[in-house]
Amino acid sequence: MKRQLHITADGSTTIHLPEWNENYHSKHGAIQEALHVFIKMGLSLFYDSKKVSILEVGFGTGLNAYLTLLNTQSKSIPIHYEGVEAFPVSLNEIECCNFPEQLKETRDTFEKLHRTEWEKVTSITPAFTLRKRQQFFDEINDINKFDLIYFDAFGPRVQPELWSAKQFQKMFDALKQNGVLVTYSAKGSVRRTLQEVGFTVERLPGPPGKREMLRAKKT
């Protein structure tokens, strides 16, 4: 499928899929969206934890993993991060992503996230380990393993099967008790499906360009 690099409203890059008219990140600001949805509304709940295990559904450009690493460096929280992606972004495309420059960081750490071997647990920093998993989302079968899930799949409009009760049951099972799932979506159908499989769901203020988002807890 053809992919194009676009600049979003905050100056950071996203990958656009013309065939689906879908973006990897919000056109209103890739970095702004990721910081709001996944860091502020998700990761920040665990800043007092002794360690955090995170699953990302849709590793994509690695932006969420990169921001997670940057936002926990000064807190010395050990992070184990697993990112699932069926169709990895190429290194050529990654070299065109400007996230480090927009965040006034060097490119070393960002590129290290992408140059690590798939399926292998790798220490990116002493406090951040990464395992990239090349698999389809319906192949996820983890049980009681993660504190936090970043659900960053393509939207229900283009891939409704990824937002089904079957998929969210897998997410529920993968979380530890009191684990949290955050997603940019605020669709009523998504909220009801999360509730159907057992999540307690709350609507939260959304990132730029979106009125709301969802946060779900396994209680």
Which contiguous run of DSSP H or E holds residue 196?
A: helix 188-196
| Burial environment of residue 9 by CB neighbours within 10 A (0 to 12, 13 to 18, 19 or more) | middle
**Which residues are CB-contacts of 163 (< 8 A; sequence separation ≥ 6)?**
153, 156, 185, 187, 189, 190, 193
pLDDT at 46: 97
pLDDT at 183: 98
Strands (E), 18-159: 22-23, 52-57, 79-84, 122-125, 128-133, 146-151
pLDDT at 20: 87
pLDDT at 19: 87
Residue extents of the structural domains in the chain: 29-218
Q: How many CB atoms lie within 10 A of CB 19?
A: 10
The alpha helices in 73-187, defined as continuous H runs, are 91-96, 99-102, 108-115, 165-174
CA distance 175 to 147: 6
Specify the CATH architecture of the domain 29-218: 3-Layer(aba) Sandwich (3.40)
From the list 135, 140, 94, the residue with the least C-alpha distance to 118 is 135
Q: What is the pLDDT along the chain (219 residues), one digit of tens a residue?
A: 788 999 999 999 999 998 888 999 999 999 999 999 999 999 999 999 999 999 999 999 999 999 999 999 999 899 999 999 999 999 999 999 999 999 999 999 999 999 999 999 999 999 999 999 999 999 999 999 999 999 999 999 999 999 999 999 999 999 999 999 999 999 999 999 999 999 999 999 999 999 999 999 999
Residues 81, 65 contacting (CB under 8 angstroms): yes
**Which residues are CB-contacts of 156 (< 8 A; sequence separation ≥ 6)?**
162, 163, 185, 187, 189, 190
CA distance 10 to 14: 11
Tell me how far apart the 2 most distant CA atoms of the chain are, in Å.
44
pLDDT at 116: 97
